[in-house]
Amino acid sequence: MTDIKKESIDLLNDLIETSKDGQKGFETSAEDLKNPDLKRFFQIHATECSNAVRELQAEVRSLGGDPETSSSAAGSLHRVWVDLKSALTGKSDEAILNEVERGEDHALKAYKEALEKAEKKALPPNVVELIRKQLVGTQRNHDQVKLLRDQVRRRA
């Protein structure tokens, strides 16, 4: 396996973990949200993250690699923190949105760094384009969560 393929697989597998973290974060948060519109929004985004994971895994396979199947340890720790903080704050929608936004900050940073690395190392165009496409979705998720959080804050 070439170095470029190995680097591509490693980078994509890191993004799989990040996307699995997002999926699980949206799923967990949807369970605790009280507002049915927010709950539905989070369920939709969990599905979108799941679709992103499948795209990344397919690309890893096409490069001859074994795709990651689990989330990261840091993501699991963050979900435990979200659960604890939500319990202490009465699982308010605002508290949940605050923590989800922090998770989305992490995902956005991971995707931006991955794109920068993929372009710098001249990884295959299909890898760069997949990362770029998913970065757009990650940015959209981040911005929507932040907007929702701000709306909930104004109502409080």
pTM: 0.86
Mean pLDDT of 126-140: 97
pLDDT of 145 > 90? The answer is: yes
Q: Residue type at 105?
A: D
Supply the pLDDT for residue 95.
84
Instruction: Tally Cβ neighbours within 10 Å of residue 152.
Output: 18
pLDDT tens sequence across 77-131: 444 555 555 555 567 888 888 888 888 999 999 999 999 999 999 999 999 999 9
Q: What letter does residue 72 receive in the DSSP assignment?
A: -
Percentage of residues of the chain with pLDDT beyond 90: 62
Domains of the chain in sequence order: 3-155 (1.20.1260.10)
Quick one: tokens of 92? 């308010």
Q: How far apart are CA 3 and CA 75, in angstroms?
A: 28
Supply the pLDDT for residue 81.
52
Mean pLDDT of 59-68: 95
Alpha-helix residue ranges (DSSP H) falling in 3-92: 3-32, 36-62, 73-88
Supply the pLDDT for residue 78.
47
Q: How far apart are CA 143 and CA 156, in angstroms?
A: 20
